[in-house]
Structure 1
């Protein structure tokens, strides 16, 4: 009830009602910023690169205890699943994509980028018999604008934003326009909707839908840029105005000042003498003038002088102001100012390391959530296809794929590594964590460099075989010695 907050009375509404009216303008503004604002485009690209990267792949970890099989059987089946998924994902003919324009990495990155900008990442999982390669499973990443209520009907308890719900509030089907309502072609198709069930009767996924769900009952997502749209737009306007001022100041650096007052000019016009004076000025301007020491001296009319423009812009406080605004934007996006502005001039090792740890925690949370809700349903459909093709063979007596999907589909998704601030210190820290049982070599390889530890071991084995006689591979050296430590007590090596 204070004077400052008394007039601030926002309404409380259902989450879908709050977002429905705001979704279209927010999405349009977010797309415009990402197209035309360097900071917005860079922020979206850097998060997509950090969370998804070029190769987002699973490492299968079937739960052998829950499945009642041995650890060895689970390991063998996991390798079969990973091999089958790689065959599908890395197909050079791009059979995984209905449009056959990109592979799994491109599809996954586009979906995450769309989810970040628009709020929804949507994928329809098709079964195509005439595609290239053995797999029949292929994907289409769907524009969220196509997900809408048939015939543009208003939302209802069982239909919200194109998502059909059951009595429990769970999605059972999705309604997509065949063509964008503002498309310049295929106008008739924009008034036809296709209904896609979420999954087939035996639970094979047909639609994957990812969005950040903040409240119970929320059916669609909202752009992650929404909280900082105003700050980004104002910063963009401010930067443009300051740049224009600097350019105009450079262009209009000098001017010629005349002693004639407005009244004198008016009298000359009345007497008919202004034309003669103007012609005399132009003739004088065409003269070469005097040259002294190779420098041309301008010849001006009597009383004229050359003046300079005192440019006061860009403002002296502009850099500090822009930094403050970008810090606010970076906080809203869940990244550091240095990442957003690409300004590392004021960073030391400690602050860079602290920022990396904090930001990476958020990236890993988004990676796990996106993998669980978007990538895992797609992987389930691919593995079903692989089992049907005989590429994955489940052991006799074990539960079927859809009898225990959680146990069979258990996996760790590997994306880009965290990278290094100080490679030596971080490698030593990784070695200590592994030695103390706090981590594993597989986890460290995935986190630091995004590598597959099994692939690393296979490559190291081949390299050892290829080493000349009497030459030892670095991986064969004692682990502690390589890491700069000595003995199980982790004492540093002596000066000798």
Structure 2
């Protein structure tokens, strides 16, 4: 007797037991998830998810607040470079030239390089990915550096383009791969498929070498090629909650309007002069303040009495928003701006967990995929354009490219206790001043130079300021216990 693999697995599972999640009993009978690879699922549903996510950001306050909070914490005022060139004078020249270029980095001239970082963080949150194209410029364009960045949204790379190119390479979801799986090119649309203001031919594509494209994506599965919106797990609940809120608001509006309904045993009688018909051809009467309206014989007036939402409205909203905040990876308070349910201890714990996630994202996505690629291309362009002289650059390129990226500083929850704890860690040798300054988004050499310049200026002007602040001692173990309790 031949037994199918599915039936065999069911029999073995029923006999052995083991993992309840693998059984097909009554409770799990309808739980039949797709076994398709994430690339297949993204190709089928990705564009719709992205469109819905963009709609929510444009129309839903919670979604708009969540993405602004995410971008503000990931990028803030910018993740800034600190060159590791040992020659201090040469390092200062590089940093100064970079600072001038950041103002010209955006090909659309809307913002600077750090503003592009923020826009990238927003796009990856909404669409799961974003692209930047290096745009070399001519010397006569008058830029500090003949290089700019052009942002390309996810929709510009056709996700359903899968074919074999004439050169034998494989194109998958708009990305061209060579024989050993390396990305060699991207096939972008010349115009956004949803932008009807662009007169260029719809559907026309252009092949751009992979060396000219920065693809920023936060992959969740092995082998994933394209991104998926971070809203994916929360779109349904957020949209339905938005509809529920609208219905509640409309119910309150109707209740406040003191709606009246007139019933009559003779509905076919002609209308009076004060009456009319609405767009649905229903009888209406325009009531005015203090107006006395005579009803026809047999007619009576009934008032609308919509039911109250009772005590369940706010708890239901709170619990639903908690699920949405978990799906988006954003703390409840950052999603809803509701601080009433927060206290010092749980706010600090939520903040510390959120910061760990943010730091991982900053390193793995923004710095690794965007900042490092841009810095390397910028350095190469600066040397080729003669904007800066770096001796033996070709042989020492890796050394010159060495750079630390400093994210924006985290604000202290309790400035006095946090500052004292920081000082005690430095004095105990648990961390260095360089590390402490880097965590606040500052370059140690630059800070020391500024302090030295300040001291020299104060001395020359005969000024004297306190050089130390007496802070009350804080027992680190006690402070830690206070937080966990």
Structure 1 length normalisation: TM-score? 0.78
Aligned residue for 1:467, secondary structure, equals helix
Query: Is 1:460 aligned to 2:451, yes or no?
Result: yes
> What is the alpha-carbon root mean square deviation over aligned residues?
3.4
Uncovered stretches (5+) of structure 1, i.e. residues with no partner: 63-71, 200-205, 279-284, 290-297, 487-496
Query: Is 1:388 aligned to 2:409, yes or no?
Result: no
Query: Is 1:22 aligned to 2:21, yes or no?
Result: no
Aligned-residue offset at 1:36: 0.4
Picking from 223, 229, 238, the partner of 1:232 is 238
Query: Within 1, Cα distance between the matches of 2:43 and 2:172?
Result: 9
Picking from 157, 169, 183, the partner of 1:147 is 157
Equivalent residue for 2:357? Answer: 362
Query: Within 2, Cα distance between the matches of 1:473 and 1:422?
Result: 25
Query: Is 1:83 aligned to 2:96, yes or no?
Result: yes
Aligned-residue offset at 1:214: 1.9
Aligned-residue offset at 1:120: 1.1
Query: Within 2, Cα distance between the matches of 1:165 and 1:77?
Result: 40
- Give CA deviations for 1:139-165 in whole Å, capped at 9, x if unaligned: 10112211127xx64356821111111
Aligned residue for 1:381, secondary structure, equals helix
Picking from 217, 240, 248, the partner of 1:242 is 248
The question of whether the paired residues in 2 share the 8 Å contact of 1:249 and 1:309 is answered with: yes
Equivalent residue for 2:347? Answer: 352
Question: Which structure: larger Rg?
Answer: 1
Query: Is 1:105 aligned to 2:114, yes or no?
Result: yes
Equivalent residue for 2:25? Answer: 2
Picking from 430, 433, 438, the partner of 1:438 is 430
Picking from 30, 37, 44, the partner of 2:60 is 37
Query: Within 1, Cα distance between the matches of 2:445 and 2:247?
Result: 55
The question of whether the paired residues in 1 share the 8 Å contact of 2:62 and 2:336 is answered with: yes
Equivalent residue for 1:252? Answer: 258
Query: Within 1, Cα distance between the matches of 2:305 and 2:403?
Result: 65
The question of whether the paired residues in 2 share the 8 Å contact of 1:417 and 1:447 is answered with: yes
Uncovered stretches (5+) of structure 2, i.e. residues with no partner: 1-23, 276-286, 475-485
Query: Within 2, Cα distance between the matches of 1:397 and 1:227?
Result: 47
The question of whether the paired residues in 2 share the 8 Å contact of 1:464 and 1:473 is answered with: no
Equivalent residue for 2:180? Answer: 168
Aligned-residue offset at 1:354: 0.9
The question of whether the paired residues in 1 share the 8 Å contact of 2:264 and 2:300 is answered with: no
Answer with 370-379 or 454-463: which moved more.
454-463
Query: Within 1, Cα distance between the matches of 2:93 and 2:368?
Result: 21
Query: Within 1, Cα distance between the matches of 2:396 and 2:415?
Result: 45
Aligned residue for 1:439, secondary structure, equals coil
Query: Is 1:183 aligned to 2:195, yes or no?
Result: yes
Aligned residue for 2:195, secondary structure, equals coil
Aligned residue for 2:202, secondary structure, equals helix
Aligned-residue offset at 1:332: 1.2
The question of whether the paired residues in 1 share the 8 Å contact of 2:161 and 2:173 is answered with: no
The question of whether the paired residues in 2 share the 8 Å contact of 1:428 and 1:484 is answered with: yes
Gap change, CA 1:249 and 1:384, over 3 Å in 2: same
- Give CA deviations for 1:189-242 in whole Å, capped at 9, x if unaligned: 33332211112xxxxxx2110111222221111111111111110111111111
The question of whether the paired residues in 2 share the 8 Å contact of 1:49 and 1:416 is answered with: no
Aligned-residue offset at 1:104: 0.9
Equivalent residue for 1:419? Answer: 411
The question of whether the paired residues in 1 share the 8 Å contact of 2:78 and 2:118 is answered with: no
Query: Is 1:400 aligned to 2:396, yes or no?
Result: yes
Aligned-residue offset at 1:187: 4.4
- Give CA deviations for 1:112-170 in whole Å, capped at 9, x if unaligned: 21111111110001110133323111110112211127xx6435682111111122322
The question of whether the paired residues in 1 share the 8 Å contact of 2:158 and 2:189 is answered with: yes
Query: Is 1:52 aligned to 2:55, yes or no?
Result: no
Aligned-residue offset at 1:484: 3.4
- Give CA deviations for 1:226-281 in whole Å, capped at 9, x if unaligned: 1111111011111111111111111127x59x9xx845x68xx98x9x979x9xxx
Gap change, CA 1:384 and 1:246, over 3 Å in 2: same
Query: Within 2, Cα distance between the matches of 1:395 and 1:107?
Result: 31
Picking from 368, 374, 379, the partner of 2:370 is 374
Aligned residue for 2:334, secondary structure, equals helix
Query: Within 2, Cα distance between the matches of 1:397 and 1:237?
Result: 60
Higher RCO, Cα 8 Å, sep 6+: 1
Structure 2 length normalisation: TM-score? 0.79
Aligned residue for 1:183, secondary structure, equals coil
Aligned-residue offset at 1:440: 2.9
Query: Within 2, Cα distance between the matches of 1:181 and 1:167?
Result: 30
Equivalent residue for 1:214? Answer: 220
Aligned-residue offset at 1:49: 1.0
The question of whether the paired residues in 2 share the 8 Å contact of 1:16 and 1:219 is answered with: yes
Gap change, CA 1:222 and 1:451, over 3 Å in 2: same
The question of whether the paired residues in 2 share the 8 Å contact of 1:231 and 1:325 is answered with: yes
Query: Within 2, Cα distance between the matches of 1:472 and 1:409?
Result: 41
Picking from 118, 137, 144, the partner of 2:147 is 137
Gap change, CA 1:147 and 1:356, over 3 Å in 2: same
